Amino acid sequence: MAVPANRFGAAIVSPAQLKTIQEVITFLVFAIFSTVYLKTPPTWAQGLGFSLIAAGAFFIFQAPR
């Protein structure tokens, strides 16, 4: 199912952007699961790491100059 989704998605965004979307969603789901189910909220260091990944996603989605 991922291959057709990637084929359709690549018509709209680049493969790097698709991978970035996947990673951001994965980290968000992990943070929610960790906090709600495992009762272990992310630490400040993990929050900083997630913030750096979000900053990377911001730059990935900037239009090429």
Quote the pLDDT of residue 4.
Answer: 61
Contact (CB, 8 A) for 42 and 34? yes
In this predicted structure, the answer to whether residue 6 has a pLDDT above a threshold of 60 is yes
How many CA atoms, within 13 angstroms, populate the side-chain half-sphere of residue 38? Answer: 10
Contact (CB, 8 A) for 19 and 57? no
Q: Which residues contact 60 (CB under 8 A, 6 or more apart)?
A: 16, 17, 20
The pTM (predicted TM-score) of the whole model is 0.73
Quote the pLDDT of residue 34.
Answer: 92
**Annotated domain spans of the chain:** 2-60
